[in-house]
């Protein structure tokens, strides 16, 4: 087996469990995406470590740690650094992609920290690639 120094978009997509569209149209458009190290077939080839560094720094979500019994507004969740903007939380709530609030007082939606931590474990995140050798 030939040991390849680089990785192509289809291999990146497989390694990180995303679509090739995500790799080529989202990640590769980011200003910090690594430069091409050449070409293999019809695909550009990228340095494997540089791609891993990019994913770690720009894609992977950090584990969410909130006070389980504290109530948080969407803005407080954004400010707590959960990796999702308050507007996205509100939009996802209307699309049934975010849990119903644990409390709605005076028209303000608030979620328990435990509810949010559970919801975040179900959201798409990108697993770290295993070392191949």
Counting as low any pLDDT under 70, the low residues of the chain are 1-4, 61-62, 122, 124-133
Give the C-alpha separation, 56 to 14, whole Å: 16
pLDDT at 64: 73
Q: Look up the pTM and report it.
A: 0.55
State which residues form the domain around 103: 71-122
pLDDT at 133: 37
50, 76: one domain: no
Q: Side by side, which strands form the sheet with 43-47?
A: 6-8, 43-47, 38-40
How many domains does the structure of the chain reveal? Answer: 2
10 burial type by CB count under 10 A (0-12 exposed, 13-18 middle, 19+ buried): middle
- Which residues, 6 or more positions from 97, have their beta carbon under 8 angstroms from its beta carbon? none
43, 77: one domain: no
């Amino acid at each position: 087996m030939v040991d390849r120094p680089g990785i192509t978009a289809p291999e990146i997509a497989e390694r990180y469990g995303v679509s090739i569209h995500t790799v080529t149209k989202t990640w590769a458009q980011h200003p910090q995406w690594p430069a091409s190290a050449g070409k293999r077939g019809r695909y550009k080839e990228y340095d494997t470590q540089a791609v891993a560094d990019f994913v770690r720094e720009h894609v992977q979500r950090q584990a969410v740690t909130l006070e389980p019994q504290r109530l948080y507004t969407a803005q407080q969740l954004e400010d707590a650094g959960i990796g999702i903007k308050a507007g996205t939380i509100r939009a996802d709530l209307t699309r049934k992609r975010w849990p119903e609030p644990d409390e709605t007082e005076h028209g303000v939606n608030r979620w328990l920290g435990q509810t949010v931590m559970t919801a975040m474990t179900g959201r798409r995140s990108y697993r770290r690639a295993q070392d191949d050798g």
